[in-house]
Amino acid sequence: MKMKVELNFRERVWMIVAAIPYGQVTTYGDVARLAGNSKAARQVGGILSKLPEGSSLPWYRVVNRMGRISLQGESLLRQRNALLAENIEIGPQHTISLAKYRWSGAE
């Protein structure tokens, strides 16, 4: 007998973030929608903020709905540097062009 294992929201978020391709970003809202709850963008941010130190999940590929890095201080610098390392251009006010770099989850 096969058992169907239902992933909880947090696990779905992890799987979606793990699938974001190198050199692309998506939004907290996109991740929430793909995980099954389009109104849970803030919850996605909370889940990502609780990742263990040294996690290999590419959390830095998730930005706000305006394409901006929402984090502050050292976290902002870590996210910015990780995105720059993937050749993602970052403009004024830590903004990334969603038209150019957005991953919709469709690929």
pLDDT at 4 (0 to 100): 52
pTM, two decimals, is 0.91
pLDDT at 39 (0 to 100): 95
pLDDT at 53 (0 to 100): 85
pLDDT at 60 (0 to 100): 98
Contact 57, 43 (CB under 8 A): no
pLDDT at 47 (0 to 100): 96
9-101 sits in which CATH class? Answer: mainly alpha
Query: Tens-digit pLDDT profile for the chain (107 aa)?
Result: 454 556 799 999 999 999 999 999 999 999 999 999 999 999 999 999 999 988 999 999 999 999 999 999 999 999 999 999 999 999 999 999 999 999 998 75
